Amino acid sequence: MVGTVSCHDHIANVPLVDNHLHGYWLTPGDRRRFENGLNEANIEPLADVASGFDSQLCFAVRAHCAPLLGLPEHVDPHSYWDRRHEMTEDQLARVFLPAAGDDADAFRRGRLDRAGERPIPVVG
């Protein structure tokens, strides 16, 4: 048929609108803060024996984000953290936010304040 598009092609070209927005940190943090940020279940610190790298979310982070940092998919957690920690939070945002491919006109991205609790609008 003329004018038809495969389902795969259609989905690949639909703008993403994320109604579950997260900001990004303004200040550098340690690995523990990062790992706790991978804990979508609650805001309490992870137990000392737990690692955010052992979550389903982090498996996806290492699959999709590691290549944006020049690392192979599913790189080991230590290597991922080392590479990520070489960059500032602003540099990381410049790498990750555009790669997410969401529709920037639908929502304004925010950054977390110094306490890491409230979004601060980013004008750009």
Per-domain boundaries in the chain: 7-121
Encode pLDDT of 85-113 as tens digits: 999 888 888 888 778 765 554 444 454 45
Q: What's the mean pLDDT in 71-96?
A: 91
3-8: average pLDDT:
80
pTM above 0.75, yes or no: no
Alpha-carbon span 45 to 36, nearest angstrom: 6
DSSP per residue, the chain: -TT---HHHHHHHSPB--SS-----SS---HHHHHHHT--S-SSPPPTT--GGGSHHHHHHHHHTGGGGT--TT--HHHHHHHHHTS-HHHHHHHHHHHH-B-TTTS--EEE-TTS-SEEE---
